[in-house]
Structure 1
Amino acid sequence: MLDILINKPNFNQHIEYTIIKYIKLMSELIQLNAGWNSNEISLKYLKKLIQDHHLSQQQIDNRENKEQFQQRISTCFEEHEKYRSFRGVFLDEQQSMDQILTMQDQEFIDPNYMIGKNVYLGGTYYQGKNIFAQVYQQEFEDKLRQIYENSDHLFGCNLIHSLSDKFCGISMQLIRFLDSNQFFSSTSIFPNLQSCSAIEIYNTILSLNQLILNCNYCMVYDYDSLSRRVQEQCQYPSQSNCHDIVAETLLQNNCSMRFPGYQNGDLRKLAVNLISFPRMHFLSNAFGVISPHKILSDQIYKLTEPANQNFTFQGDAKNFYRMQATVSRTKDLYYEIQESTSKCKNTTAWVKHGFCNINCKVQHYELGDTVLYIGHHNYFGMYCRQLCLKFLQLWRKKAYFHYYACEGADELDFVEAESTVSDLFSEYITYDIVDQELD
């Protein structure tokens, strides 16, 4: 009976349509942004999305195959009768919101999802937390409810934020109002502990406490490594150029949710393959363009070396990964990439061959064949340890705590945050010992 069905001319088309329909229904993402750094990354990401889906007027006039670019466009855009709008909430000071509305791609930004207020933020986590409750909270709830009502089947939310800037308290408050049944991912920029201030240390440990408890999948970046990568590209290491790299990796990270491929997957699939224990969900990544003039296996292997390409803790990290994955955008080289990654082994004894491959058949609109490497790196535990040590040096003397106390902060909140981060470091150490015993 099955042979008869398979031989029917419309059987394969029916199966393909069913799979595409299912993936499309579960791929709608909400982008959350608070503060200028976050908004700038999101705007760069939006600009790349418009190019990637061929939505600019020049691309609309020239493109040949319209279907493949619009098949899953609902992942990032709401489709209305006469226009499309980016499914994202922008939250910042009023002046910044006015500036966004004057930008080139503002026709894809829905003003109903923008929240601008004339407020002053001094820079502490608790001041942002209090101002959110007083000024932003009600309007944000209304915007989020509106997005939920305009969406059919949401996959989840992604939050772009810096752990130490003045909007970190507001960013962490956004998490409280998300649907707990939805997948929550974070694109987080961590400070360089060698050069950050005391207030940034406090903000980071309070924000990291929230990410450990509430996030499902966290991509980690730091400006020091991003600046080095920008310099490698012979560009000036400005904050804007660093944000452009983050936006590029965001585009690659969810490309398989937006386009068909040989082996599709979403952020949940990556999380299942890369995160072995729920609290240890902090991942590093590296991005590269596949050159036809170089050996492919060498290019893939180079991406796995933190000292060369990584955007996180570049100067300190060693090549120790628990689990690894690639997200490729190539039509012809997928099987070659799969073969190359099969030779890369994890240093964790019980998942030596745990390498996940995801593919998107639609090439990058500008760069052609590209690959994003994602690794569950061991070094994040050491970062947590360094953060706790720097925090304790300040906390023993209650240095700078008066700035937080005048905003209503409780000492127990700081103690709890340090304990949570310290426990995460202990988890990393515990599993390191297990790995060494198995080896």
Structure 2
Amino acid sequence: MREILHVQGGQCGNQIGSKFWEVVCDEHGIDPTGRYVGTSELQLERVNVYYNEASCGRFVPRAVLMDLEPGTMDSVRTGPYGQIFRPDNFVFGQSGAGNNWAKGHYTEGAELIDAVLDVVRKEAENCDCLQGFQVCHSLGGGTGSGMGTLLISKIREEYPDRMMLTFSVFPSPKVSDTVVEPYNATLSVHQLVENADECMVLDNEALYDICFRTLKLTTPSFGDLNHLISATMSGVTCCLRFPGQLNSDLRKLAVNLIPFPRLHFFMVGFAPLTSRGSQQYRALTVPELTQQMWDAKNMMCAADPRHWSLPHSFCHVQGQNEH
């Protein structure tokens, strides 16, 4: 089986990563203890892409969780699916990066990186045929951007022939926590251009606009933004997790979508997006879904795809086809 190793780093990376695992567990019929409670054999057909099966029949996410402070790890552990992760795969420091890219990349992060790489190596050695890595991080903080890009470059050195997919949350002046976010993002993008194979671009501004304008949430929280990201991540990885004809692994996805090696930053559109309570009053047709998917309001980064020509695109549809 072609396995993927998931790594999440920093506060943002761990929070969206945890939501991602909640959604994926639900789709594969796995409960918070790791037991299979699903109803379809399709749920188990390619479950090994993201899960290790333990000897007692439990499914354990192939995930490594890292941070430079223990607070986020504690909240993941106490979350609804906190007990499903392997305890040895939590790697954290005590000092924090203080939203400083250099601390994450050169000082505190550099001290912790060997411990993270040890856990990554153990998980990689347990795989039959590792297809690549998936990294969840933000580019605005210190750990996700600095230590996240350090980890990506180290993995590239150690596993040069494996694919590297990142879910990178870009900062925005409209939804900004700290004044140094642009510096952290600028320093990180260079690393992603050189060392990642596929980057899914997620943008706080676009996510906030979707919550406010489309989903009609008056004061969107980071929980709402994370819910949106987890649904998008689930949709993007669906073709990797379930049997299908097209883009069934990371390399095929790259071959079909990347015209030149350095042009590997993907815009993700998601449909349908409907506000709470209005779903029962609408019937969504295939043309309407397709139109929504290409609409700038449904893009996970604040850019309008109609303003330029797209070299490649890929549409993944889930659900029963009644046409």
TM-score by length of 2: 0.87
Output the CA distance in 2 between the equivalents of 1:200 and 1:94: 22
Q: 1:200 aligns with which of 181, 184, 187?
A: 181
Contact 1:228–1:237, Cα closer than 8 Å, also in 2: no
What is the distance in 2 between the residues matched to 1:106 and 1:195?
28
Alignment-derived partner of residue 106 in structure 1: 82
Q: Would the alpha carbon gap of residues 177 and 61 (structure 1) be closer, same or farther in structure 2, given more than 3 Å must change?
A: closer
Q: 2 CA distance for matches of 1:64 and 1:85? A: 19
Q: Does 1:285 align with 2:268?
A: yes
Please say if 1:214 is aligned against 2:191: no
| CA displacement, residues 340-374 of structure 1 (integer Å, 9 cap, x when unaligned) | xxxxxxxxxxxxxxxxxxxxxxxxxxxxxxxxxxx
CA contact (8 A) 2:164 2:198 kept: yes
- Report the secondary structure of 2:148's partner residue: helix
- What are the superposed Cα offsets for residues 261-319 of structure 1, whole Å, 9 maximum, x if unpaired? 3545223222212210111111101111399834312320231122x311111479736
Superposed displacement of residue 52, structure 1: 0.4
Question: 1:241, CA displacement in angstroms?
Answer: 0.9
Contact 2:33 2:84 survives alignment (8 Å):
no
Which of the residues 193, 199, 204 maps onto 1:223? 204
* Counterparts of 1:58 and 1:202, CA distance in 2: 41
2:215 aligns with: 233
Structure with the higher helix share, 1 or 2: 1
1:49, 1:61 → 2: CA distance?
12
Cα 1:261–1:137 change in 2 (3 A) is closer
Shift of 1:59: 12
Q: Please, which of 294, 306, 321 is the counterpart of residue 304 of structure 1?
A: 294
Given residue 60 of structure 2, which amino acid in structure 1 is its aligned partner? S
107, 125, 129: which one aligns with 1:149:
125
- Percent identical: 24
Q: Assess, with a 3 A threshold, how the Cα gap between structure 1 residues 193 and 106 changes in structure 2: closer, same or farther.
A: closer
Q: Which residues of 2 match residues 410-425 of structure 1 at below 5 A?
A: none
Distance 2:202 2:103 in 1: 25
Q: CA RMSD in A?
A: 2.5
| 1:174-214 per-position Cα deviation (integer Å, ceiling 9, x unaligned) | 11221111100111111225776662222111100000111
Q: Which has the larger radius of gyration?
A: 1
Q: What does the per-residue CA deviation read over 1:202-259, in whole Å, with 9 as the maximum and x for residues that have no partner?
A: 2111100000111111111111110111121133421121111111111111112221
Counterpart mapping for 1:383-402 below 5 A: none
Could you tell me which runs of 5 or more consecutive residues in structure 2 were left unpaired when the two chains were aligned: 274-278
Distance 2:251 2:34 in 1: 32
Aligned length: 306
Aligned residue for 1:219, secondary structure, equals strand
- The letter for the 1-side match of 2:14 is N
Structure 1 116/57 Cα, relative in aligned 2: closer, same or farther at 3 Å? closer
- Secondary structure of the residue aligned to 1:81 is coil
Matches within 5 A, 1:98-137: 98-129=74-105, 130-134=107-111, 136-137=112-113
Partner of 1:18: none
Residue 71 of structure 1 and its aligned partner are, at CA, apart by: 1.3
SS at match of 1:248: helix
Please state if 1:268 is matched with 2:258: no
Query: In the alignment, does 2:18 pair up with 1:43?
Result: yes
Letter in 2 for 1:300: T
Identify unmatched segments of 5+ residues in structure 1: 1-24, 337-439
Matches of 1:59 and 1:171 in 2, distance apart? 27
- Letter of the structure 2 residue corresponding to residue 256 of structure 1: C
How far apart, CA to CA, are the structure 2 residues paired with 1:61 and 1:172? Answer: 35
Contact persistence 1:305–1:319 (CA under 8 A): no
Q: What residue in structure 2 maps to residue 247 of structure 1?
A: 230
Q: Distance in 2 between matches of 1:302 and 1:96?
A: 35
Look up the match of 2:71: 95
* Counterpart-to-counterpart distance in 2, 1:176 and 1:103: 30
